Amino acid sequence: MQPSETQVAIAAESWTTEQAIANLQQTDDPSTRYYAAWWLGRFRVRDDRGLKALIEALSDTVDRSPGGGYPLRRNAAKALGKLGDLRAVPALIESLRCPDYYVRESAAQALEALGDAQAIPSLVALLEGGVEAAVRVPGKPHLVQPYDAILEALGALKATDAIEQVYPFLEHDVPRVRFAAARALYQLTGDDQYGDRLIAALRSPELQLRRAALMDVGAIGYLKAVTPVAETLAENSLKLIALKGILEHHLAQIDDLDEAAIDIMTQMDKLL
């Protein structure tokens, strides 16, 4: 982070909502605008002017990174995911075609968070070419599309018509993408074989993969994963987040505390 950006970040902590919106609406100072977009998401500011300015920021052409990326668009997409206003959906769908990979990734994650099934056809379109097309971009640390975000969104949006397109990604050579496919297929089919793949991933030799699997079982609320989560070798903080996800998913399905809920909480207590 450049020194000037740090100063803006510190100053931003004491902004009012009015200031943040004004800072997003102006176009003279890109770094202040960039933080304003983040700020509105961070503090979940629900305001029509802020929403409009964030949607406009999704087509910004001024703020460019040395690699050709669109930093402001990335932040705007992330913020719109947090605000929960479905009026952002069409612009986010449009952002799935942005040349910047990270804008597409943020847009897919935001569309997942907003939960609007309208986004499904555009997300499925990014899977075109299947696993064969899902290769690395030469010289970049990522694949041609943000496949994990796309697959996770399709699972969360209950895109049962997309099962056929999701299925082949179980065999992708990037573990993170395989996990995302398993996670989505569990949500789309309810079949334990896909959840069990994530339990197996909790025993991966690499810590990074165990961490990813923890987030996945938490996100889908996979009840069978409680003990494997408690026993995997990873930070307690991540295990607690995973168990919280499973607990809340379970609590939503029962009227009063049952044995399973008490078991999850007992495991969580031990990890504090």
10 makes contact with another protein (CB under 8 A): no
User: 132 by DSSP, 3-state: which?
Assistant: helix
> Between 235 and 254, how does the x/- string for binding to another protein read (CB under 8 A)?
xxx--xx--x--xx--xx--
Residues of this chain, 104-133, that bind another protein according to CB under 8 A: none
> Do residues 244 and 206 lie in contact, with contact meaning Cβ atoms separated by under 8 Å?
no
Q: Which residue in 40, 51, 93, 268 binds another protein (CB under 8 A)?
A: 268
Q: Which residue in 234, 242, 253, 259 binds another protein (CB under 8 A)?
A: 234
Tokens linked to 234: 């990873």
83 makes contact with another protein (CB under 8 A): no
Tokens linked to 200: 């197996």
Residue 271 C-beta: closest distance to another protein, Å: 9
Tokens linked to 91: 């612009």
Give the total of residues touching another protein (CB under 8 A): 20
208 makes contact with another protein (CB under 8 A): no
Q: Which residue in 13, 28, 164, 269 binds another protein (CB under 8 A)?
A: 269
In order of 17, 105, 174, 201, 209, the CA distances from 50 in angstroms are 9, 22, 38, 41, 37
Residue 261 C-beta: closest distance to another protein, Å: 6
258 makes contact with another protein (CB under 8 A): no
Structure-token match 């044995």, residue found? 259
217 makes contact with another protein (CB under 8 A): no
Q: Which residue lies nearer to another protein by CB, 131 or 209?
A: 209
144 makes contact with another protein (CB under 8 A): no
Q: Is the dihedral of CA 248, 251, 257, 260 positive or negative?
A: negative
Q: Which residue in 9, 25, 261, 263 binds another protein (CB under 8 A)?
A: 261
CA–centroid distance for 145 within its chain = 14
> Do residues 30 and 62 lie in contact, with contact meaning Cβ atoms separated by under 8 Å?
yes
In order of 3, 98, 250, the CA distances from 70 in angstroms are 20, 9, 39
Residue whose C-alpha is closest to residue 8's, from 37, 41, 35: 35
> Do residues 34 and 64 lie in contact, with contact meaning Cβ atoms separated by under 8 Å?
no
82 makes contact with another protein (CB under 8 A): no
Residue 36 C-beta: closest distance to another protein, Å: 22
> Between 155 and 194, how does the x/- string for binding to another protein read (CB under 8 A)?
----------------------------------------
Long-range contacts of 230-238 (CB under 8 A, 24+ apart): 230/267, 230/270, 230/271, 232/202, 232/203, 233/207, 234/207, 234/210, 235/211, 236/271, 236/272, 238/211, 238/214
Residue 65 C-beta: closest distance to another protein, Å: 31
Stretch that binds another protein, among 94-102, 151-159, 165-173, 232-240 (CB under 8 A): 232-240
Positions in the binding site for another protein (CB under 8 A): 207, 233-237, 240-241, 244, 247-248, 251-252, 257, 261-262, 265, 268-269, 272
